[in-house]
């Protein structure tokens, strides 16, 4: 029984990793399963946030402090993951902004942000162009040489 409790305690100690994995799966599901482009961007943002959490989790040491030289502390947390995640957050925000700008342009061009409607409109355009290309050229009138 104590062995089982020890295992459960070990599992519960990694709850933040489980939350990160759950967020990652949820974000990936939204990106794959939804046709709305804004929802896809939200799913991508959720996925990125889970990666941030997954990356920051091992960077914190229990009882560790910021790496400022202080003789009272002997255990320090590594600051590198935090610095890298700050950079990743800025890149993620820029990616989201560019994605939203593209969604606005797609909406202006197609009148929709749903993938199925955009694909159907593109397919209809391609079929119309193929029919126009397969017609024989028109002959000029009587006065043409």
pTM: 0.73
Domain spanning 2-133, CATH architecture: Orthogonal Bundle (1.10)
- Listed by start position, the domains of the chain span 2-133
Say which residues have a Cβ less than 8 Å from residue 16's Cβ, sequence separation at least 6.
Answer: 53, 57
Going by the DSSP 8-state scheme, the letter that residue 135 receives in this structure is S
Helix, coil or strand: residue 10: helix
Report which of 118, 90, 88, 116 is spatially closest to residue 102, judged by C-alpha positions. 118
Q: Reply yes or no on whether the pLDDT at 7 is more than 70.
A: no
Contact 63, 36 (CB under 8 A): no
Res. 91 pLDDT band, cuts 50 70 90: very high
Report the alpha-carbon angle 103-106-96, nearest 5: 15
Give the tens place of pLDDT for each residue, 102-116: 999 999 999 999 999
Give the tens place of pLDDT for each residue, 16-60: 888 999 999 999 999 999 889 999 999 999 999 999 998 888 777
């Amino acid at each position: 029984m104590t062995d089982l409790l020890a295992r459960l305690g070990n599992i519960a100690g990694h709850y933040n990793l489980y939350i990160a994995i759950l967020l990652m799966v949820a974000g990936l599901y939204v990106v794959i399963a939804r046709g709305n482009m804004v929802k896809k961007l939200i799913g991508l943002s959720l996925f990125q946030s889970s990666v941030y959490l997954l990356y920051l989790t091992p960077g914190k040491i229990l009882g560790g402090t910021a790496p400022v030289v202080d003789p009272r502390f002997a255990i320090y947390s590594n600051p590198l993951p935090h610095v890298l995640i700050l950079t990743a957050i800025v890149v993620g925000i820029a990616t989201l902004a560019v994605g939203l700008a593209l969604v606005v342009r797609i909406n202006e061009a197609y009148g929709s942000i749903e993938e199925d409607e955009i694909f159907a409109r593109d397919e209809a355009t391609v079929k119309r162009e193929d029919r126009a290309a397969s017609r024989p050229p028109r002959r000029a009138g009587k006065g043409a040489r």
